[in-house]
Amino acid sequence: MPDLLGDTITDAVISTLRDTEDARLAELLPALVRHVHAFVREVGLTQQEWARAVDFLTRTGQLCTPARQEFILLSDVLGVTMLVDALGNERPAAATQNSVMGPYFRDDRPRRPDGADISEGVPGSPLFFEGLVLDHRGAPVAGAGVDVWHSDADGHYDIELPDRTDPAMRALFRTDEAGRFTFRSIRPSSYPIPGDGTVGELMRSTGRPLMRPAHVHLLIEAPGFQRVTTMLFPSDDPYLDVDPVFGVKESLIAAYESHEPGTGPYRAHSEGPYTVLRHTFVLEPAPEA
Ligand SMILES: [Fe+2]
């Protein structure tokens, strides 16, 4: 048997995969081997560099717990998360586009009636949200489930706040007959992605900022329509162009209207300055089953 040299080992590895039963796996694995081998050849990877990469990935895995997923964060900052989403959710420009889901969604969020205050006493500048959910023809989508969640004025989610166990700044709503849902909360702030792990090392070594622009997360589901996982960013946020997870899309930049006390549509409901955010979401029909 001839020795496997640099130019023959790729074919040799791929030939060991020929009995893979699952058709999709039989497509994925040879392609993965080809691309990894091509990368090693292209950069002339040294043994020290290979060992350093193994150490980096090992530590990335060791950071993962039920409350923290460093591998997903790594996928996010390398643009893989948004690339996979783009390939799987191509939509017409008029439809609401997806963005990253992020790590802060939680299943035990409360179901709240229209107009509810979901801040649960967390301090911050009031935010009044008015949402409208339409289908691709412009007709209202009644009964759609709308999850919202966001950070506080310091960029922290409820699960990061000391002494708080109950959900806050998150809720599940249902659209009414006109496709509308409204709620009151507090204005979210920009915040950094976790910088104390391997992803932080990567970001520092490449001079990339950790800060994400402020946003409200939304997840909209209705029978017969594609699920929308998205977020809305304030148009005046200084971090729109440097989002480390590549979640910003032009159509997701929204006007967070600032109002002085005693002016505007909610003057009777707020003693201080407040923000109004209105947005129309357009759902695409689900592909035929
Ligand atoms: Fe977020």
pLDDT tens-digit profile of 94-111?
999 999 998 889 888 999
Note whether 252 and 85 are within 8 A (CB).
no
| Secondary structure (DSSP) of 40-59 | HHHHT--HHHHHHHHHHHHH
Average pLDDT value for residue range 139-151: 98
Question: Is residue 215 over pLDDT 70?
Answer: yes
Query: 260 C-alpha to center of ligand 1: Å?
Result: 27
- What are the residues whose beta carbons fall under 8 Å from the beta carbon of 89, sequence distance 6 or more? 98, 226
Q: Ligand 1 mean position to 50 CA, how many Å?
A: 33
pLDDT, position 269: 79
What confidence score (pLDDT) does residue 4 get?
A: 67
If you average pLDDT over every residue of the chain, what do you get?
Answer: 94
Q: How far is the CA of 104 from the centre of ligand 1 (A)?
A: 7
Whether 288 has a pLDDT exceeding 80, the answer reads no
**From ligand 1's centre to the CA of 102, what distance in Å?**
6
What is the pLDDT, as a whole number, of residue 47? 98
Across the range 236-255, mean pLDDT stands at 96
- pLDDT-derived band of residue 176, with 50, 70 and 90 as boundaries? very high
Burial of residue 146 (CB within 10 Å: 0-12, 13-18, 19+) is buried
**What is the pLDDT confidence band of residue 160, given thresholds at 50, 70 and 90?**
confident
User: How far away, in angstroms, is 28 Cα from ligand 1 center?
Assistant: 32
Q: Alpha-carbon distance 155 to 122, whole Å?
A: 12
* Domain architecture of the chain: domains with CATH: 9-67 (no CATH), 80-283 (2.60.130.10)
191 Cα–ligand 1 center, Å:
8
User: At 103, which amino acid appears?
Assistant: P
pLDDT of residue 68: 86
Rounded to the nearest whole angstrom, what is the distance from the C-alpha of residue 133 to the centroid of ligand 1? 21
pLDDT value of position 270? 74
122 has pLDDT over 70: yes
Measured in Å, residue 150 CA sits from the centre of ligand 1 at: 6
Provide DSSP, 47-103. HHHHHHHHHHHHHHHHT-BTTB-HHHHHHHHTTHHHHHHHHH----TTSPPP----S
C-alpha of residue 254 to centroid of ligand 1, in Å: 16
Residue 289 confidence (pLDDT) above 60: no
Quickly count: other Cβ atoms within 10 Å of residue 209's Cβ: 13
Whether the predicted pLDDT of 144 surpasses 80: yes
Task: Look up residue 140 and give its DSSP letter.
Answer: B
1 band by pLDDT with thresholds 50, 70 and 90: low
User: pTM for the complete prediction?
Assistant: 0.90
- CA–centroid distance, 212 to ligand 1, in Å, is 8
What is the Å distance from ligand 1's center to 272 Cα? 25
The predicted model gives 266-289 an average pLDDT of 89
The pLDDT, as a whole number, for residue 244 is 97
Ligand 1 centroid–CA 124 distance in Å is 17
